[in-house]
């Protein structure tokens, strides 16, 4: 392998048996992707999917190699463009702010300022617009790059590709083009046009709020547009916004860049710009009419997103980095619905802090909980998070899973009450009746589609903790809906499938 893989291999005695573990250290950023030298970089780099490997495609290899340094695609010249292709209002606002904020630039001409900022770059003896300058300030960047826009689709069912009750594949769709600062509001209007409002109790009256906080959506849209990959292999893919009955997902081409990882998103001081020149332009470009900056307070977007979700009583979003794409998904559910409030009262959580109640509610709704997630979502430091979680463990309300930096928490089965639920609903079918809880219905639907799967594979598909999925499987086996493919559940190859003709009254032996 290049670079060489040197795992830490250790034996462990567990319940009288010896288990061998191999801990594979993550490769350094400048060494990624690790590949098999016999096949070469192009054909020898793989990513893990469920229990198999998938070869990285050419674009995914390029994305990982680009993270070794600072990409320069946003400084690429766009032949045939001139300053006449800039949006007049954005250009004027940009130049005025540069002169107001940077006295040293005050006496320079417009053309000199555009060159200094990287809006204009040299090309074959003439000055033309850079790709970043065109995307940030151009009148219509999509005239040169048709897919550097945003698409929105509202779907009738939770599953992509399924038809609605009247045979419709989608409810609404929209295409948003133009320069970056002028794309956010049209995209928000398209989403709001298809969002519902929900009633909340405030004081002595009722208030109406959007089912997803506008601040969270705005931050997701801004991040997806300014951090999208501008490499030639990615220019055929727009930013995609998908609204389902149970979730809202925003997807952009290009995974996380540089030293940023999912577990560090939102940490103070952790920020990396794939399109550095374009970001600097946008940081100095007030949006006409509102006067606000599209990229104000760089690095604070994730924090604002989490704060708005928590204030709305909703759980945190799910971030997914798949090398070639990055997505954020907002589940459509409220943490503190009536069943959750009743459950908290039953387990004696009335005297807990608000933050601890949030942690328990996250677990009950099928979310993964760790010290890091608790800390970020509640906006507390690691010492407070550790103290709060230890108190919950001491009281028997949660229990630890794993150890060290892999420690997570789950609900003990004795105190779980109702089966944990994920904020993803599944349409009723003969295999997933509405009488099943959300989580168990998902397991049934997944097995209906895939036949036989292991618990880890199911957990990956529905993005739930494996321990929670095993709980759902155990309940389904007790109900006679699911059966194991091996005689022993301790068999490492055990898989699960739907039990045809099983009775609701069956119980596992």
Q: What is the pLDDT of residues 117-159, one digit of tens each?
A: 999 999 999 999 999 999 999 999 999 999 999 999 999 888 8
Phi, psi of 231 (to 5 degrees): -60, 150
Buried b (16+ CB within 10 A) or exposed e, 184-212: bebbbebbeebbeeeeeeeeeeeeeeeeb
Helix (H) or strand (E) holding 390: helix 382-394
Does some domain include residue 92?
no
Q: Is residue 307 domain-shared with residue 447, that is, in the same domain?
A: no
* pLDDT interval class at 479 (50, 70, 90): confident
495/454 Cα distance (integer angstroms): 4
> When comparing pLDDT for 146 and 166, which is higher?
146
Q: Is residue 192 domain-shared with residue 302, that is, in the same domain?
A: yes
Calculate the average pLDDT of the chain: 84
Q: Is residue 249 domain-shared with residue 235, that is, in the same domain?
A: yes
Q: Is residue 312 domain-shared with residue 387, that is, in the same domain?
A: no
Cis peptide before 33 (omega within 30 of 0): yes
Span 476-484, average pLDDT: 87
Helix (H) or strand (E) holding 299: none
Helix (H) or strand (E) holding 253: strand 247-253
Cis peptide before 3 (omega within 30 of 0): yes
CB 128 within 8 A of CB 78: yes
Does some domain include residue 52?
yes
Give burial (CB, 10 Å; 0-12/13-18/19+) of 482: buried
| Token pair belonging to 173 | 């769709």
348/344 Cα distance (integer angstroms): 6
- pLDDT tens digits for range 188-242: 999 999 988 765 544 434 445 788 999 999 999 999 999 999 999 999 999 999 9
Q: Is residue 398 domain-shared with residue 461, that is, in the same domain?
A: no
pLDDT of residue 298: 64
- pLDDT tens digits for range 346-390: 888 888 998 999 999 888 887 888 888 898 888 888 889 999 999
Distances (CA, A) of 131 to 78, 139, 221, 334: 6, 13, 20, 41
Distances (CA, A) of 236 to 120, 150, 239, 320: 24, 12, 10, 21
Q: Is residue 382 domain-shared with residue 424, that is, in the same domain?
A: no
- Dihedral (CA of 271, 277, 283, 289) sign: negative
Q: Tokens 């766009």, residue? A: 78
Q: Is residue 157 domain-shared with residue 239, that is, in the same domain?
A: yes
* pLDDT interval class at 9 (50, 70, 90): very high
Does some domain include residue 209?
yes
Q: On the CB side of 372, how many CA atoms lie within 13 Å of its CA?
A: 13
| Token pair belonging to 239 | 């930013």
pLDDT of residue 291: 77
Chosen domain end from 391, 414, 437: 414
Phi, psi of 453 (to 5 degrees): -145, 155
Chosen domain end from 281, 313, 331: 331
Looking at mean pLDDT, say which of 244-258, 400-414, 492-506 comes out highest. 244-258
pLDDT of residue 417: 41
Q: What is the dihedral of CA 205, 209, 213, 214, to 10 degrees?
A: -120
Residue 414 has pLDDT above 60, yes or no: no
Phi, psi of 429 (to 5 degrees): -155, 170
Does some domain include residue 488?
yes
Span 168-195, average pLDDT: 94
- pLDDT tens digits for range 259-301: 787 877 767 666 778 899 999 999 999 988 777 888 765 667 8
User: 136: closest CA among 230, 23, 32?
Assistant: 230
Q: How many domains does the chain have?
A: 4
Does some domain include residue 448?
yes
Integer distance in angstroms from the first to the last C-alpha of the chain? 47
Q: Is residue 374 domain-shared with residue 485, that is, in the same domain?
A: no
Does some domain include residue 183?
yes
CB 253 within 8 A of CB 233: no
pTM above 0.85, yes or no: no
Q: Is residue 199 domain-shared with residue 321, that is, in the same domain?
A: yes
Q: Is residue 156 domain-shared with residue 249, that is, in the same domain?
A: yes
Chosen domain end from 414, 434, 457: 414
CB 375 within 8 A of CB 355: no
Residue 25 has pLDDT above 90, yes or no: no
Name the least confident of 66-75, 81-90, 208-217, 458-467: 458-467
Which CATH number is 437's domain given? 1.10.10.10
Q: Tokens 């100095």, residue? A: 284
Q: Is residue 161 domain-shared with residue 205, that is, in the same domain?
A: yes
CB atoms within 10 A of CB 38: 8
Phi, psi of 145 (to 5 degrees): -130, 90
Residues 396, 398, 402: CA angle, nearest 5 degrees: 120
Task: Give the domain extent around 467.
Answer: 419-509
Does some domain include residue 79?
no
Q: Is residue 387 domain-shared with residue 459, that is, in the same domain?
A: no
Does some domain include residue 281?
no
């Amino acid at each position: 392998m290049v670079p060489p893989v040197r795992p830490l291999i250790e034996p462990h005695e567990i319940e009288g048996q010896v288990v061998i573990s191999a801990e594979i250290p993550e490769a350094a950023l400048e060494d990624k992707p690790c590949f098999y030298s016999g096949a070469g970089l192009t054909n020898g780099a793989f990513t893990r999917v469920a229990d198999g490997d998938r070869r990285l495609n050419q674009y995914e290899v390029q994305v990982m190699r680009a993270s070794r340094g600072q990409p320069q695609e946003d400084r690429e010249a766009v032949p045939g463009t001139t300053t006449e292709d800039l949006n007049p209002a954005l250009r004027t606002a940009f130049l005025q702010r540069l002169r107001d904020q940077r006295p040293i630039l005050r006496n320079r001409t417009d053309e000199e300022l555009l060159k200094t900022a990287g809006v204009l770059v040299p090309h074959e003896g003439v000055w033309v617009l850079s790709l970043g300058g065109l995307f940030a300030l151009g009148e219509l960047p999509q005239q040169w790059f048709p897919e550097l826009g945003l698409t929105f689709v509202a779907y009738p069912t939770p599953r992509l590709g399924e038809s609605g009750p009247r045979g419709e594949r989608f409810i609404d769709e929209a295409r948003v083009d133009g320069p970056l600062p002028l794309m956010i509001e049209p995209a928000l209007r398209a989403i709001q046009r298809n969002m519902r409002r929900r009633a909340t109790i405030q004081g002595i009256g009722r208030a109406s709020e959007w089912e997803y906080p506008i601040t969270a959506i705005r931050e997701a849209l801004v991040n997806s547009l300014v951090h999208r990959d501008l490499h030639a292999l990615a220019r055929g893919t727009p930013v995609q916004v998908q609204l389902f009955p149970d979730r809202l997902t925003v997807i952009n081409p290009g995974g996380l860049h540089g030293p940023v990882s999912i577990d560090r998103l939102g940490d103070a001081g952790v920020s990396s710009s794939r399109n550095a020149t374009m970001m600097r332009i946008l940081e100095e470009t007030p949006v006409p009419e509102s006067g606000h900056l599209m990229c104000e307070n760089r690095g604070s977007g994730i924090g604002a997103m989490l704060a708005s979700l928590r204030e709305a009583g909703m759980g945190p979003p799910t971030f997914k980095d798949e090398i070639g794409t990055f997505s954020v998904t907002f589940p459509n559910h409220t943490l503190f619905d009536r069943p959750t409030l009743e459950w908290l009262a039953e387990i004696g959580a009335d005297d807990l802090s608000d933050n601890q109640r949030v942690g328990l509610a996250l677990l009950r709704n099928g979310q993964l909980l760790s010290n890091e997630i608790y800390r970020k979502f509640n906006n507390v430091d690691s010492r407070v998070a550790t103290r709060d979680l230890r108190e919950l463990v001491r009281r028997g309300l949660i229990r630890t899973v794993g150890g060290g930096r892999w420690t997570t928490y789950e609900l003990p089965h004795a105190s779980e009450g109702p089966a944990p639920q994920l904020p993803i609903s599944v349409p009723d079918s003969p295999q997933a009746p509405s009488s099943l809880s959300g989580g168990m219905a998902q397991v049934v639907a997944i097995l209906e589609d895939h036949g036989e799967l292991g618990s880890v594979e199911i957990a990956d598909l529905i993005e739930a903790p494996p321990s929670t999925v095993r709980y759902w499987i155990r309940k389904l086996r007790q109900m006679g809906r699911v059966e194991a493919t091996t005689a022993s559940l301790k068999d490492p190859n055990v898989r699960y499938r739907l039990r045809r003709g099983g009775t609701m009254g069956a119980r596992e032996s």
